[in-house]
Structure 1
């Protein structure tokens, strides 16, 4: 609620509406929730676990765009919108950990949204939050160092680093796993030196 700036009452109303079309699902680590190249038709709401969205660039290198955690919808909105006309998704969604949650059919979600103002407001707030996150990420990638991007990742996703692979984080930061290891060693050494100075 705090993340997308909606009231508890609105969140409860939205939850009750969406519960009428929600279907439980389970995914193992490494299982794809959405494949690139296939039209996207489902929203995945996560009750537990972590998912990751990304795409493959022209060189076939996997690029991570963002992570989704408990209480979030693992969704690539642009793919859902283009999927309405049968166009293939550009992004993939993959389970970074074991996931439990609910799927919602996008067409049914849209039909409900058209009927209920509270859903329209909720989806607008969620879309605005997503746009802000993408804008901040674009800035971080273009204007900051790898160390700064790692610090921004830790701030945006507190506690997530211990739950997912170093390879996934490196992909998100746009660096190699080897360089990721080096950054972590440097950060640990700096923290140790700072601790020794305080003592």
Structure 2
């Protein structure tokens, strides 16, 4: 059993249980189960946790750092889907499911900062879930939370202005703007880095307080 994994997970117990609406007892039980298969990993900024075109087999739980998921559209343009921070699992669920039969990933996962964390083999995780009802309930709540976030993201992208999307990003990911590149944020908002610079200048002018570069 990986005691460091348990120690790191305990740091995020309160925040995670509030976010996905599970009890602390369930969180602890799941942590203890996952500790039997957790393996430490480290990547530098810019390195891939998962490459598009390669079957996905691992869940990456982050104890420090920021990861970004996305894909390349048919024009070769990079589209950012979301960010993952400390205490979260950087996971593209559809790719993991497809990877069970050897199908290649559609999405990539890349480190926006140096990352320390733990990998969890997807097949072994599924085996544990099949054996333990507490994990079934836990993962169901994670899936429901993910669907709610996906629905909100779809609405934000389709029905709001770039200014509103930037405000929504800042609300969903407080403090993240100062940790990652402007290019990554622009990709998430569906705008150019140049327009992103303009939005930030306008926000600074409106608030009267310059933001960090």
TM-score greater than 0.5 by the shorter chain: yes
For residue 180 of structure 1, what is the aligned residue in structure 2?
196
- The Cα shift of 1:35 comes to 0.4
Structure 2 SS opposite 1:2: helix
Runs of 4+ in 1 over 4 A off after TM superposition: none
For residue 101 of structure 1, what is the aligned residue in structure 2?
117
Distance 2:147 2:51 in 1: 22
For residue 115 of structure 1, what is the aligned residue in structure 2?
131
* Residue segments in structure 1 that go unaligned for 5+ positions in a row: 194-199
Select which of 5, 12, 27 maps to 2:28. Answer: 12
Structure 1 SS opposite 2:20: coil
- The Cα shift of 1:116 comes to 0.3
Is 1:59 matched with 2:75?
yes
Is 1:164 matched with 2:197?
no
- The Cα shift of 1:187 comes to 0.2
Q: How does 1:40-51 map to 2 (within 5 A)?
A: 40-51=56-67
* Residue segments in structure 2 that go unaligned for 5+ positions in a row: 1-16
What RMSD over aligned residues (CA atoms) do the two structures have, in Å?
A: 0.7
Is 1:149 matched with 2:177?
no
For residue 98 of structure 2, what is the aligned residue in structure 1?
82
Tell me the alpha carbon deviations over residues 73-116 of structure 1, each in whole angstroms, 9 at most, x when there is no partner: 00000100011011010000000000000000000000000000
- The Cα shift of 1:152 comes to 0.3
Distance 1:47 1:26 in 2: 10
- The Cα shift of 1:132 comes to 0.9
